[in-house]
Amino acid sequence: MEFLLVLTYALAIGLRAVNSQEATLVPAIITFGDSAVDVGNNDYIHTIFKANYPPYGRDFKNKEPTGRFCNGKLATDITAETLGFTTYPPAYLSPQASGKNLLIGANFASAGSGYDDKTAILSHAIPLSQQLQYYKEYQSKLANVAGGNKAASILKDAIYIVGAGSSDFLQNYYVNPFINKIYTPDQYSSSLVAIFSSFITNLYGLGARRIGVTSLPPLGCLPAARTLFGFHESGCVSRINTDAQAFNKKINSAATQLQKQLPGLKIAIFDIFKPIYDLVQNPSKNGFTEATKGCCGTGTIETTSFLCNPKSIGTCSNATEYVFWDSVHPSESANQVIADSLVFQGISLIG
C-alpha cells in the first residue's frame, strides 16, 4: 500500500511537470563529492584519478570518455533525466561551465575526495572545502548570467546532491596506519559525520534547502576491497560492511538533527547500501551474471583508474552483465538500479 501511494505521488508530480511550462521538476542540480558523482572535474587537475580515456565512457553518448568513472551514465545522470533534464549540469572546471549552461546547475565533485580534506590531499583531488569555495564562485557567475533575483530562486529550489565517504575509508583510513592505529572505525566515522554536519550547515547558509546525501555503499563488497582486505573471506568483507553500516546510521541521525535545527531544510539520506548489496548477493534477479569483479581490466586489484585503460587485459564485451564496471565503481546498468531506488527515496525533496 505504501509503495502504491509513493508511486501515485510520483506520477502526479510527473504529470504536473509535463503540463506546466517548466520541463524539469527542479531548476538545477548542484553536486559535491567523490568519484561516484564526478562528471569530469579531475580532467582539469593534476591527479592520477582520471577517467578521461577509453574504455571509460564506451557506452556513453558518442561512446566518448567524459571523466565519469563508468562505462556510461552515473546514477546521478539517470536521476537528472528522471527529473526532466535533457542535458547534464557541467563539471565546474570544464569550459562548458559558463553562460547559460550554469542555469541548470554545476558539478563540483572530484574523484578521490571525501569528507576528510586529508583524503583529497592524499589523492591530489579537490577537497570538499574547496568544492564549497567553487560553489561560492558559481553563485556569483550565476547571478551575472541570470540576475540576482532569478539566481536566488534557482539556488533556493535546486536539488543539492552530496556523495562522499567511500574514499575516506578505502583510500585513507584502511590503508593509513597514521589514522587506523590511532582511531577506531567508530571514532573515525564520528569525525566524518561531524564534518558532514558542518558542511551541510555551511551549504544551508549559502541558500541550499533541498539536499540529498548518498549513504556509503557496501564497501566490503567492492571487488578492490575483497582483494585487498578479504584475505580468506569468500564473500564480501563483513567487517568493512559493518563499518559502512555504522557510518550510515550516524549520518542518518545527524541529518535528522540538522532538519530540526535548520528551518526550511529538506534533507534525505539516500540508502545506496541496500540496492547495491542486493545486486551483489543476488545478481541474476536483476539480470546480472557477475558481481565479484569489475568488467574493466582484471576487475579485482585495480584500486585506481589508471589500471583500467585502453590496454587493460580481459575487459568484458558486455558491461550490462556486470554489477561493477571497474574494481570500485558500478556499471551503468547497476547505476540504473540505484537511480530507480533514489527516485522514490527523494520524493520528499521535490514535493
Which residues are within 8 A (CB) of 305 and not within 5 positions of it... i.e. 6 or more apart? 48, 49, 50, 51, 56, 69, 111, 326
Distances (CA, A) of 62 to 124, 161, 316: 29, 26, 19
Per-residue cell: 267? 534533507
Q: What is the 3-state secondary structure (H, E, C) of 142-162?
A: HHHHHCHHHHHHHHHHCEEEE
Q: Is 43 a catalytic residue?
A: no
Q: Is 35 a catalytic residue?
A: yes
Q: Residue 207 in contact with residue 152, Cβ under 8 Å?
A: yes
Among candidate residues 167, 329, 331, 341, the one labeled active-site is: 329
Q: Residue 217 in contact with residue 244, Cβ under 8 Å?
A: yes
d(CA 143, CA 279): 43
CB atoms within 10 A of CB 165: 29
Per-residue cell: 107? 558539478
d(CA 37, CA 34): 6
Helix axes of 185-205 and 128-146: crossing angle, nearest 10 degrees: 20
Q: Is 243 a catalytic residue?
A: no
- What are the residues facing 30 on neighbouring strands? 106, 160
- What are the residues facing 242 on neighbouring strands? none
Among candidate residues 34, 116, 243, 326, the one labeled active-site is: 326
Distances (CA, A) of 28 to 35, 82, 239: 20, 13, 38
Torsion of CA 274, 265, 166, 335, to 10 degrees: 50
Residues recognised as catalytic: 35, 326, 329
